[in-house]
Structure 1
Amino acid sequence: MRRVGLAQCGLCSVFCASEDVMRRGPLNLITDVAGIAVGNAQHEGLKSGVTVVMGEAPMVASVLVMGGAPGSRETDLLAPEQTVQAIDAVVLSGGSAFGLDAASGVLAWLAERGRGFAVGPARVPIVPGAILFDLLNGGDKAWGRFPPYRELAYDAAVSARSGAFPLGSVGAGTGALVAGPQGTMKGGLGSASVVLPNGATIGAIAAVNALGFATVGDGPHFWAAPFEEGAEFGGLGFPAVVPPEARAPRTKSVDGAGWNTTIAIVATDMALSKAEARRLATAAHDGFARALWPSHTPYDGDAVFALSTGVRPPPEGHDVVVLSAAAAAVMARAIARGVHAATPAPGDLAACWSALFGTSA
């Protein structure tokens, strides 16, 4: 990726372009952002799971929901005008509304360690979250009186680390589905990162369960291809000719109109205010539009949380433009990587990308 910088000419008011190179982060994961840890837990028989993104210290955060069918917890307090300025973790979960209980497991783990928003002598961990619908994906959802998401989330919190973690059919992406050549195709958990010219890092993680296509029609190419770094999701580029049917807004199925949602997090180590984090979430939604066709539908609950660990200085001048552009690009890459990395499992109702097209097509 390249940054276009603007420098004013001394002879006139014309701005001339210069280029600085952006590079992929060492792990190409959201954990390349200093101060971020990720944990995953899943149940193979359930075909569902939980992903937690945790800060080593409280993080400035905001959120933007652009889908018409969201499921979320503690999102109102992330508005810039609200009192609480920082949070401890964000939870992405399968299970539809049942998965909203996942945040309780992370809250319990944090409370055991004395973390949280101070109210006198009490501390209350702040753990927003969002869910996707994976109840009809072939997994056994006969869990009895209480759903398992609280315990899965606690396990995810225990496993949270700042290093590498797997992608694809793990965590909140375990049972995710997207539209595909045979009606549906497995979605998954994806992540990506980029280091900006000023040395700051931005990363994204997404659980991809979209109503629309991540691929171009019935072929192996990804809509996010212009933003791919190396061959992180196959290295195929765009097809020589985009087939006309790929431009039609095809979706999973009419019967599956409510079985969707892509939920995601974008994070940076630059110091941001809540208002600036909200703007970052807004920019990251452009990555949905570049990686999924269609996106932000009435039947998706598309949501992006934006986090700032604040270990680097705030953006200055043109840095805010670069940060916004990078947020969109890194989110598109994370979405494509999630679908590309999905793996087959017993009882699947849909094939994964590698089974349909081979590991590199």
Structure 2
Amino acid sequence: MTSRRNLITDVAGVTVGNAEDAALASGVTVALFDSPAVASCAVMGGAPGTRETDLLEPDKMVPGIHGIVLAGGSAFGLDAASGVQAYLRERHIGFQIGTVCIPIVSQAVVFDMLNGGNKDWGRYPPYRELGYAAAEKAGSDFALGTAGGGFGATTVNLKGGLGSASAVTPSGHTVGALVIVNSIASAVIGAGPHFWAGGLEEGAEFGGKGHPTHVAPEERKPVWKGGPQPATTIALVATDAVLTKAQAKRLALSSHAGFARALRFSHGLFDGDTLFTAATGRKALGDEATDFTYLTVAAADCVARAIARGVYEAKALPFEGALPAWRDKWGGGPA
């Protein structure tokens, strides 16, 4: 990965910013596009929290969007998109309808309300201001792990977080993934340290431990947060390819395979698993069938790798009873 950042911002036309509140133990991550991106979405979990997703369907008229927000805060966190809209509107970024400028910002949230942070914020939650602050910080480089919308994220047995990864397809298209890993289940095999996504790792991007030669039946036993507590993994896949909205929708559906490769399990009743796709339109498809197929494979792999990176890069929250971080248990490098 020496020639790339191994971040979603390797895709031309995408910038990302984070903002978080340590006392709240939550935050916001914002992806902005240099020009309106052709986008779609696939919601596969049973308990989603979203904003402005219907307009991303291929039969809807909106041709592109200006930003996507991934945030904590459960339904309260949906305020973050308003802050991003305010940031864009101040800069006259949006669709012009008469004298009115309307930025289109879609969003998904994760449930991080029981992680030990102080959620007694008074009348209004702080996510609108966090969204604005994250948009202000949008750039090519950004922190992973306990950062932005992944600040308060958890898995069933380890601290979760914000992850990202990128790849270039054989046809020369760049694809990247941005994920908040707040999964109801586990990203590691059994008691760890191996990630379910270990067979897809590039270099030592999430510890370099690879994949075990055998996974015993007891290591495949599903574990989950239990009860009615919702948990969610949410993601954005971006590419520099020229796509139609229908192709963006298909890419969103295909990319959900990365959830299944990196988590045991996903798409459950209490999951809100949601994945956005965005195409910045820098490079046309050549042989459409072949190039698009390469794109779907690379995108799903990037999602899986980003999930493992989000857990690998995380730091434990400083609260009593907080889940440990992967590095607390197994260090920062190869076995």
Q: TM-score, normalised by structure 2?
A: 0.97
The 1-side partners of 2:3 and 2:190 are apart by 30
The match for 1:221 is 194
The match for 1:41 is 19
Aligned match for 2:247, one of 267, 276, 284: 276
Letter aligned with residue 313 of structure 2: A
SS of the counterpart of 1:68? Answer: coil
The match for 1:355 is 328
The runs of at least 4 aligned residues of structure 1 exceeding 2 Å deviation read 314-317
The 2-side partners of 1:55 and 1:157 are apart by 11
The 2-side partners of 1:122 and 1:218 are apart by 55
SS of the counterpart of 1:89? Answer: strand
Aligned pairs for 1:1-20 within 5 A:
none
The match for 1:151 is 129
TM superposition shift of 1:314: 2.9
Aligned match for 1:295, one of 263, 266, 274: 266
TM superposition shift of 1:77: 0.3
1:205 aligns with 2:163: no
The 1-side partners of 2:216 and 2:26 are apart by 34
TM superposition shift of 1:237: 1.3
SS of the counterpart of 1:237? Answer: coil
The 1-side partners of 2:198 and 2:3 are apart by 18
TM superposition shift of 1:190: 0.1
TM superposition shift of 1:155: 0.3
Aligned match for 1:124, one of 102, 112, 126: 102
Checking the alignment, whether the CA contact within 8 Å between 1:134 and 1:259 is kept in structure 2 is no
Aligned match for 2:291, one of 316, 319, 327: 319
TM superposition shift of 1:240: 3.2
Aligned match for 1:164, one of 141, 153, 158: 141
The 1-side partners of 2:116 and 2:330 are apart by 22
The match for 2:304 is 332
Q: Deviations over 1:67-125 (max 9, x none)?
A: 00000000000000001010000001100000000000000000001111221221110
TM superposition shift of 1:24: 7.6
SS of the counterpart of 1:318? Answer: helix
1:245 aligns with 2:223: no
The 2-side partners of 1:315 and 1:327 are apart by 18
Aligned match for 2:77, one of 99, 105, 109: 99
SS of the counterpart of 2:156? Answer: strand
SS of the counterpart of 1:70? Answer: coil
Letter aligned with residue 153 of structure 2: A
Instruction: Answer with 1 or 2: which has the greater Rg.
Output: 1
Checking the alignment, whether the CA contact within 8 Å between 1:202 and 1:267 is kept in structure 2 is yes
Checking the alignment, whether the CA contact within 8 Å between 1:25 and 1:195 is kept in structure 2 is no
Letter aligned with residue 307 of structure 2: I
Checking the alignment, whether the CA contact within 8 Å between 1:100 and 1:129 is kept in structure 2 is yes
Larger strand proportion, structure 1 or 2? Answer: 1
Aligned match for 2:206, one of 233, 237, 250: 233
TM superposition shift of 1:247: 1.3
Q: TM-score, normalised by structure 1?
A: 0.90
Checking the alignment, whether the CA contact within 8 Å between 2:230 and 2:272 is kept in structure 1 is no
Q: Deviations over 1:17-64 (max 9, x none)?
A: xxxxxx786000000000000000000111100000000111110000
The match for 1:342 is 314
TM superposition shift of 1:315: 4.8
Checking the alignment, whether the CA contact within 8 Å between 2:152 and 2:317 is kept in structure 1 is no
Aligned match for 2:4, one of 4, 23, 26: 26
Letter aligned with residue 143 of structure 1: W
SS of the counterpart of 2:101? Answer: strand
Checking the alignment, whether the CA contact within 8 Å between 1:195 and 1:202 is kept in structure 2 is yes
Checking the alignment, whether the CA contact within 8 Å between 2:285 and 2:292 is kept in structure 1 is no
1:193 aligns with 2:166: yes
TM superposition shift of 1:295: 0.5
Letter aligned with residue 351 of structure 1: P
Distance 1:96 1:24, change over 3 A: farther
The match for 2:90 is 112
The match for 1:176 is 153
Checking the alignment, whether the CA contact within 8 Å between 1:72 and 1:131 is kept in structure 2 is yes
The match for 2:256 is 285
